[in-house]
Amino acid sequence: MSDYWFCVKHHRVEQGEDMCPPIDRLGPYATREEAAGALEKAEERNEEWDNDPNWND
């Protein structure tokens, strides 16, 4: 299994069979590094959406 997930409950990268429930995970990500940056990526996307003129009319 090559997918990595980020657990928002425990703030850790997870992989394999012993993972938190899907409700607590972000992903999948191709690499451990991408998964580790999941919260930062989500924050960037939220910022972009908050400033998107198409959604702020």
Burial of 26 (C-beta count, 10 Å sphere; 0-12/13-18/19+): middle
Q: What is the pLDDT of residue 57?
A: 60
Q: Number of folded domains in the chain?
A: 1
Angle (nearest 5°) at CA 46 between 28 and 54: 120
Instruction: Retrieve residue 13's tokens.
Output: 């990268």
Domain presence at residue 56: no
- Rounded Cα distance between 48 and 44, Å, is 6
Host domain of residue 17 = 4-50
Domain presence at residue 55: no
Confidence of residue 1 (pLDDT cuts 50, 70, 90): low
DSSP string spanning 24-54? GEEEEESSHHHHHTHHHHHHHHHHHHHT-TT
pTM comes to 0.81
Q: What is the mean pLDDT of residues 26-52?
A: 94
pLDDT digits (tens, 9 = 90+) for 9-22: 999 999 999 999 99
Give the position of tokens 């702020």. Answer: 56
Q: What is the mean pLDDT of residues 36-54?
A: 92
